Structure 1
Amino acid sequence: MKITLIAGARPNFMKIAPIIHAIQNAQKKGKDISFRLVHTGQHFDEKMSATFFRELNIPQPDVNLECGGGSQAEQTAAIMIAFEKELLMNPVDLVLVVGDVTSTMACSIVAKKVNIKVAHVEAGIRSFDLTMPEEINRMVTDSITDYFFTTSEIANANLRKSGVSEEAIFFVGNVMIDTLLENIPRFLAPSVFSTLGLQKDNYLVMTLHRPANVDQGEKLKELILTIVNNVDGLPVLFPIHPRTAKIFSDLGIQAENLFIIDPLGYLEFNYLVANAKAVITDSGGITEETTVMGIPCITLRDNTERPETITIGTNELVGTNPLALLPVLSQLLNGKWKKGGIPEKWDGMAAERIVECLLNLQ
């Protein structure tokens, strides 16, 4: 079986890495499976892209389509045009996409248009919020996918409700957690840890990038000030997303316990998370990682496509109203955060299950 693997944006790399390693293990056992790695170039910043290939032991892509920048429509079109040429020059049996970024949807459409089957890793997750570009990407991708690899029974139920047959759904677990568990021994303290004299459980990590939180300067300012002024002076580390940095620079925020740092690589960022008192975020993937690491997580969103991180894990959804943060921060500081557990099959073996399924499809 010949497979094209698609990676385009930072979250993709963490999901692709264990699948590549599982394919390589299968090849060593004499299995008939090979892959071609296509990087769409959706994220082209060094910290958002190339670093991850090195840190996660992913081979250099066979091709980089260099489709970074532009509006949603421009980027989707650029990826589709470039990937169609790539696929026609290098035909395969299956195109495997991961997650919910623009590259996921665009490459799925192209593959189906040229009659190549599509497998979607992380299929079936839903926020039911059509203002999120990612939700549209998920829905479109799953509407044309042939093989659905899922992270939870909730995702399975979403697919069944949309008419997907049971035979096409494979509950395999979470490849993000495969990568996390594989790399915990390799986590690396960033220089800021010693520079600021940070101590375990004595600081917070914050990440913000979603339009609802960062596109309006005053809203972003109110959010940040509410956080830094209500954590008993604990240091708040803010690895700032390029999207957020442009807006933040005009806000004039002054706070002695707020530390703006550049985006970090996977190993350094997760070192900070693993040793933090809590994480405040609007990311989806981080809520999965904090759940497995047992770190309290406060999510600044009105909905989530990963409800198991709340019902089972350490995550709490508080919305985007800054005032809603106050009771949650008080709960955290008073040591009353829930303990949390780990969802089924988030055990580091998801990629092995995926490759086993793929081999059985032949």
Structure 2
Amino acid sequence: MAVSPPAPRGRGAVSGATSTRFALPQRELDRDWLDERAALDEEVPRLATTVTEEAARTILSFNQSPDVPFDRSVNAYRGCEHGCIYCFARPTHAYLDLSPGLDFETKLFAKPQAAKLLRRTLAARGYRPAPIAMGTNTDPYQPIEKRYRLTRQILELCLEVRHPVTITTKSDRVLDDLDLLRELAARKLTAVAISVTSLDAALSRKLEPRAATPMKRLAALGALVEAGVPAHINVSPVIPAITEDWIERILEQAAERGVRSANWIMLRLPHEVAPLFREWLDTHFPERAAKVMSIINQIRGGRDNDPNFHSRMKPQGVWPDLTRARFRKAMARLGMERGRIELDCSQFVAPERDGQMRLF
């Protein structure tokens, strides 16, 4: 049986495993070096986070997926320091010739011109408003947001031009922009979803090592509700035999804080996420790894992942059926519902194009 490498402190991925879909150089931990460190009773050094500023040409991405409730999104950052091991966005780092493993959470990219690029897109002739989703690929409130404030700049623009925007995050840093969110919400222009996987802080440190603790996220939900901002809780992802026991308790905690809208998503393991997750299981839950993957294979048609439209977000079998039943029962008991918050697109006023007044 292969021995899994030790998990780097403060990181989600166990290794820098690279993509097999591209001709990327393969990297492997130096076991002799690790053994030497252990013999000297020395810790493996922490991996530093680096940020590269990217000169992006566009910022608004459009999609035609039938499985997601939005058709456009903004991601001001690439990579995510939260380091969630299950993150479906990890494979996007392979396009940069970087590892979907540790590189994804340590080699980050920021787009300083994000708000300027978005203003240019919103000013284009023929643009038609619809809610912009933030937090679809990487978290808009990951730690580097404190330095760059790109998410805040985008929210300021949305408020200025009255454009609807939604946010999904795992950080209580969203409260840094509560002033803007309150104003947007008063005009029915925003809604915020916060994801919570468990209420066990130790488990969360393994799953999502640099995200806010579960209780901080729940507190942020309560603060959003109190401020009049539509708040939604995502119990996601639900990981069989790892986090599923927390479903009812998470919903109860959210309901106590006034949250009335909730949803859940079963774990997905696209592309390089599957081997990274298997490695994580072998490191943190070796006694449970085979069981977890067996359940995942059962609900995904015998594979680690179902990539097909329509079915990829709808796992099949006994396990998801039981989860759906538990979720429905808990929500009915708590007075919650799986509802979408409708935002108002009618208030949009296009900004000036390149500083020029409009003739028509």
TM over 0.5: no
Larger radius of gyration: 2
Higher-RCO chain (CA-CA 8 Å, sequence separation at least 6): 2
TM tier relative to shorter chain: 0.3 to 0.5
After TM superposition, the score normalised by the length of structure 2 is: 0.36
> What is the TM-score normalised by the length of structure 1?
0.35
Higher helix share: 1
